[in-house]
């Protein structure tokens, strides 16, 4: 009976540690994605400022690239501890922001050109909401309790309307 009870305690302890690691990686992921999005927004603002030049843009691009590398590293850690649904949604968030970053760094966005990808924030919001729900389910928390630990402000994109 003692061995059985000890085994139960170890399982409970392992489950608590796994949930703690899942929370940590989710919070880290949301924070690094926010920093990356902010770096992308900085480049957008430089691109639409008529007084800006390459001397301002180049360091902003380096900062964006460093944030992207950090996001990739955190995503790798995330994949190790989360279940399939959460990983799929985290990959989708990362891919969406990577696509946005590539277009901004390449000078393709923001744009009002009819053929330009407008990077609809609406789509990202749904993906982030699905990720949040999946992580809350994994760790046995309500979505509101989990939200209290992470970013609560909606993400904003530049949307300046500049034509390229």
pLDDT in tens, 100-137: 898 888 877 666 555 555 555 568 888 999 999 999 99
Domain assignment present for 116: yes
Confidence (pLDDT) at 96: 92
Confidence (pLDDT) at 14: 73
In the chain the first and final C-alpha atoms are separated, in Å, by: 73
Percent of the chain with pLDDT over 70: 75
Q: Are 25 and 74 in contact (CB under 8 A)?
A: yes
CATH code at position 34: 1.20.120
pLDDT in tens, 143-154: 999 988 886 554
Per the structure, the count of domains in the chain is 1
Domain assignment present for 7: no
Domain assignment present for 160: no
Q: Which residue has the higher pLDDT, 117 or 92?
A: 92
Structural domain boundaries, residue 19: 13-147
CA count, 13 A, side-chain hemisphere, 27? 13
Query: Which residue intervals of the chain are DSSP H helices?
Result: 2-48, 54-81, 84-105, 121-139, 143-147
Domain assignment present for 135: yes
Instruction: Please state, rounded to an integer, the average pLDDT across all residues of the chain.
Output: 83
Confidence (pLDDT) at 164: 35
Domain assignment present for 89: yes
Confidence (pLDDT) at 108: 74
């Amino acid at each position: 009976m003692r061995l059985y009870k000890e085994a139960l305690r170890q399982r409970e302890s392992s489950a608590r540690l796994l949930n703690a690691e899942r929370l940590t990686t989710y919070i880290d992921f949301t924070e690094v994605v926010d920093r990356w999005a902010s770096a992308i927004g900085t480049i957008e603002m430089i691109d639409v400022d008529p007084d800006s030049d390459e001397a301002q843009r180049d360091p902003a691009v380096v900062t964006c690239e460093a944030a992207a590398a950090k996001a990739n590293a955190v995503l790798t850690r995330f994949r190790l501890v989360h279940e399939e649904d959460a990983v799929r949604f985290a990959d989708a968030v990362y891919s969406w922001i990577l696509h946005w970053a590539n277009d901004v760094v390449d000078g393709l966005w923001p744009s009002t050109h009819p053929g330009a990808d407008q990077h609809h924030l609406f789509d990202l919001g749904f993906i982030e909401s699905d990720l949040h729900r999946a992580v809350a389910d994994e760790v046995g928390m309500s979505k509101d309790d989990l939200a209290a630990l992470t970013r609560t402000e909606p993400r904003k994109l530049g949307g300046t309307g500049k034509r390229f």
